A and B are shown apart, each in its own frame.
Chain A
Amino acid sequence: MSFKDEEQRLKDDNQEEEAVNTEEDSDPDEFEDEETTRNLVVPGEILTTDTKTYLPGRGTILSQDRSKIISLNIGLKQTKKNYINVIPLRGFYTPRPGDKVLALVIDKNPVKYRCDINAKDDAILKPKNTMKRGRISRGMRGGPPDRDNSNAEMYDIGDILIAKIVSADRLNAPELTTVGKYLGKKNNGIVISIDPPKIPRVIGRDGSMIKNLKNLTKSTIFVTQNGRIWLKGEDIAHERLLIDAIRKIEREAHTVGLTDRMVDYIENEKKKRGLK
């Protein structure tokens, strides 16, 4: 039992506390407008022929003769100012710098870890990005660097990490860092995966949905952009309820009035299952 272990344990405890308060940063306006949520469109559908007033936004394209805006995805049509967007209902995760992701360490060697982040490429985590700069422990009185705790030993294959994407583009493998607030290894809890485009719905407007989920099931949730959710409840029954609730959100992501419906659902289920 060294000083370092103690420090690590303290750090972990802190993380738990902090994770409770996490409101994930995301595009807050997704799935917002109540009346647009009903407009289901499919690829190739003409959204408007009025190209003078409207501009093609996300998930849309201008036709070749510039006479109409067509949808590229199966999703919900949304008009915002003079942009027409299509919010996709299915899709894959594309890493962007700054995203927080749940990563699974799948390979390790002295120069890098390889992590599965649910994207087309495996992400790379370099040991220099796992440690704060200039914080090499030097023993008690500024002695030589502690060689025993090599950086490469920090994580093991199979570890679940909360990481931030430092760099990502179309060509190269994304790079991760675990230095920062809330970031690091998760030692407990459950990880579930949902469709990445439905993540904004789990968070809700200004985090309203996730706040409800947390309060009603008394659990800790960490939602990440790559479609994975880390959660930990009081006991297994609460965790099961939470997972069922998230699955329900995923299934009904395109419907209106979901937040209110979820509150009712959780209250009912709690009575049914005999939870407090």
Chain B
Amino acid sequence: MPLVINDEYPEKLFRDDGKRLDGRDKTELRPIKMEVGVIENADGSAYLEWGNNKIYAAVYGPREVHPHHLAKPDSGILRVFYRMTTYSVFERKRPAPGRREKEISMVITDCLKPLLFLELYPGTSFEVFIEVMDADGGTRCAATTVAALALADAGIPMKSLVTAVAVGKIDNELVVDLSGIEDKAGQADLPCAITWFNEELSLLQFDGDMNLEEMEEFLSLAKSALSDIYEIQLAALKKKYIDIQEEVSGGNS
């Protein structure tokens, strides 16, 4: 029997008990799991599960630029390849990179660039490959978060990590971390990313309608959510080494 996917959106995005459709509070994040060093042959890699999103990121570099004409004589270049697998969404995604993927690759590149010291590596490229295995809303934020982890795991000098989250408006309520259905059926959607060394916004996109007061509120909501995700990022990055430390000290005593 073929799987029939209902294309209609529900009328209400809140349940009767005031929670969201997946049982979350308004400012509650989906469960997040992160891991680094998952791809053996990459210089650095990370894996992220954020709700139903499943994303791998791999970093290579510094290495020679191909095609060579892209190389800059005075600085390195950062290239991000955001791709979705054909099975990551309900309707089969055509495998060729589309307009949306190119745009997201571009915004993630611009988001990560201020972290790196590209001017120290002229004529080289750092390449970040992000592969979305399963998508359920907010993949650009999740991809930015996991790309920063992979860069840190590769040992590339960087000023700090970057963390991203989407906030939005559904049924006239402000909520944090939109899921796929809320993203599509909601009124507004605002993905934003923060670089922690100067606490500045490195990515801000907006779709929908809201007024300026709501915008302020949005950003303060996002800030607290971002610090929560940042903690998870730090823990994931350190876990790889702390595990070995504990194993070794446990073996001795």
Contacts and interface: CB of A to CB of B under 8 A. Distances in A.
Interface of A: 38, 40, 42-45, 59, 61, 63-64, 70, 72-74, 88-92, 120-121, 170-171, 197, 251-252, 254-255, 257, 261
Nearest to A63: B197
Contacts of B123: 171
Given A90-B44, A197-B155, A170 B244 contact: no
A222 B55 CA distance: 41
B157 interface: yes
A254 B244 contact: yes
A121 B64 contact: yes
6 contacts: A44-B197, A61-B159, A74-B237, A120-B63, A120-B64, A171-B123
A70 B154 contact: no
A252 B249 CA distance: 11
Nearest to A64: B198
Contacts of B237: 42, 74
A120 B124 contact: yes
Interface string B50-79: 000000000001111000000001000000
B209 to A, nearest CB: 35
Closest 4 CB pairs of A and B: A44-B160, A90-B155, A91-B155, A72-B157
B36 to A, nearest CB: 9
Nearest to B36: A74
Nearest to B152: A43
B248 A252 contact: yes
B27 interface: no
Nearest to A65: B198
A92 B60 CA distance: 10
Nearest to B123: A171
A255 B244 contact: yes
B221 interface: no
Contacts of A89: 155, 241
A74 B64 contact: no
Given A63-B197, A252-B244, A70 B159 contact: yes
B153 A120 contact: no
Contact of B154 (A44, A90, A120): A90
